[in-house]
Amino acid sequence: MASPEDGVSGTDRPGAVGRRGFLRGAALAGAGLATGAAAPTAAVVPFHGTHQASVLAPSRRTSVFVSLDVTAEHRADLTDLLRTLTDRARFLTSGGTPSPVGITGPPADSGILGDRLPSGALGVTVGVGASLFDDRFGLAALRPRRLTVMPAFPDDDLRSEWCHGDLGLQLHADDPDTAVHALRDIARHTRGGMQVRWRLDGFSSPPRPSGTPRNLLGFKDGTANPDAHSTGEMDRLVWVGKGMDEPDWAVGGSYQVVRLIRMLVEFWDRVSLSEQERMFGRARSSGAPLDGDREHDTPKYADDPKGDVIPLDAHIRLANPRTAATAHQRILRRAYNYDRGMDGNGNLDMGLLFTCYQQDPVRQFETVQHRLAGEPLTDYTSPFGGGYFFALPGVRDAADWYGRALLG
């Protein structure tokens, strides 16, 4: 487990705010950005936009999710922190050569990716947790209306040290060293303003042999996602829009749910394939529903009212009943696998770093979660952490920064 000593912050005096360090970091960020903007080496997903592009982007091969506690003491310091975080994310996603800081200073970069950072190799998602809207920064009245502390659900075994956070930072890349490089860079420039509460690294397998990647229970994960390329679908299910009883600053953002789910794979591997498939409602090999032939075939629940083919308590049937009444409850899931080696008893410690995005976590995620309570899969999974975050609206241009409309 990550500890405050491991991570994205710290200071020589615990809890202190190095505001001058923020300003120095922002200056370094700006210098690096000016160099990095020139001559990108590959096609780059634009950093600027109404939304954070990483929300809709397909899963990359590697992900690092870091939950952070803000140690900044004043609103001005929080502003400096988010401005610096924006500058670093802008530079790290665009690529380029970091500017030198002088012959007496430390190197401007860790160097683990070489002298020049590749463009387009990194995606960044930044969110805020409910605890950021306490009385520290005067933001209570501006909290997104549906942003709360993640509750414990009936089948959870939550551990407090793996839950919640003031900020959520997710780094997406195809290579682990790209994500690690970004984490170290952000840690360096935000020292004194935030520290790690918990961290989990994940990975996504390539399609095997085709279609959607698989989770560590061997089944394809995310087959029934809404179409991320459909503006209408995303406006209906994912993005917060005007007139939705949310603060004006929140328009363009999305509610992010993070769930850390251990999979009891050693028990799962002793279960017959037919029983595994009935628990999911899909064929393991093809990903097809048990009444279909191909992964993206639509299950015919109306033709199977008693669950003779797809059991009534199968995961896919409970998660997405595919009725007109439940169509507005769908979520956009972005899941990664994780492997932490072994636990203290010598059992394999692996599972799912689950994230999903939605317009309303109560209407969508929580409704689905309550339908899944007690499903057969709960004998083989154990959610132990995570949190609710609000993925901030996008950074619109070079003068904008994460949370600018929130902090004014």
| Mean pLDDT (whole number) for 153-167 | 97
pLDDT at 383 over 90: yes
Helices and strands: H and E segment counts in the chain: 9, 8
In DSSP terms, which residues pair with 110 in a beta bridge? none
pTM over 0.75: yes
Least confident of 41-50, 194-203, 284-293: 41-50
Whole-angstrom Cα Rg for the chain: 22
378 phi and psi angles, rounded to 5 deg = -65, -15
Residue 233's identity, in one-letter code, is: E
Q: What is the pLDDT of residues 17-37, one digit of tens each?
A: 454 455 445 444 444 444 344
Measured CA to CA, the distance from residue 283 to residue 377 in angstroms comes to 15
349's enclosing H/E stretch is strand 348-358
Q: In the prediction, which pLDDT does 181 show?
A: 97
Paired tokens of 173: 């890349």
pLDDT at 2 over 80: no
Closest by CA to 58, choosing from 255, 248, 222, is 222
Q: In the prediction, which pLDDT does 21 show?
A: 53
Higher per-residue confidence, 135 vs 205: 135
Least confident of 17-26, 99-108, 221-230, 315-324: 17-26
Contacts of 1 (CB under 8 A, 6+ apart): 161, 162, 198, 199
Paired tokens of 109: 């970069």
| Mean pLDDT (whole number) for 76-83 | 98
- For residue 304, the Cα-to-chain-centroid distance in whole angstroms is 36
Paired tokens of 288: 């097809």
Q: How far is CA 92 from CA 32, 173, 340, in A?
A: 9, 11, 27
- Cα of first residue to Cα of last residue in the chain, in angstroms, is 36
Contacts of 244 (CB under 8 A, 6+ apart): 359
| Mean pLDDT (whole number) for 172-198 | 96
Q: What is the pLDDT of residues 304-343, one digit of tens each?
A: 999 999 999 999 999 999 999 999 999 999 999 999 999 9
Place of tokens 């009534």: 312
Q: Are 120 and 93 in contact (CB under 8 A)?
A: yes
Measured CA to CA, the distance from residue 400 to residue 83 in angstroms comes to 9
Q: How far is CA 271 from CA 171, 181, 266, 282, 346, in A?
A: 35, 40, 10, 15, 21
Residue 131's identity, in one-letter code, is: S
Measured CA to CA, the distance from residue 374 to residue 195 in angstroms comes to 36
pLDDT at 126 over 90: yes
Contacts of 221 (CB under 8 A, 6+ apart): 212, 213, 214, 215, 333, 335, 352
| Mean pLDDT (whole number) for 372-379 | 97
Q: In the prediction, which pLDDT does 369 show?
A: 97
The total of structural domains in the chain comes to 1
| Mean pLDDT (whole number) for 182-200 | 96
In DSSP terms, which residues pair with 144 in a beta bridge? none
Q: In the prediction, which pLDDT does 158 show?
A: 98
91's enclosing H/E stretch is helix 75-94
State the average pLDDT for the chain. Answer: 90
Q: What is the pLDDT of residues 312-321, one digit of tens each?
A: 999 999 999 9
Q: In the prediction, which pLDDT does 28 show?
A: 47
Share of the chain above pLDDT 70, in %: 89
Place of tokens 């950021």: 132
Q: Are 236 and 328 in contact (CB under 8 A)?
A: yes
Range of the domain at 70: 1-408
Q: In the prediction, which pLDDT does 45 show?
A: 73
Paired tokens of 75: 């609103």
pLDDT at 43 over 70: no
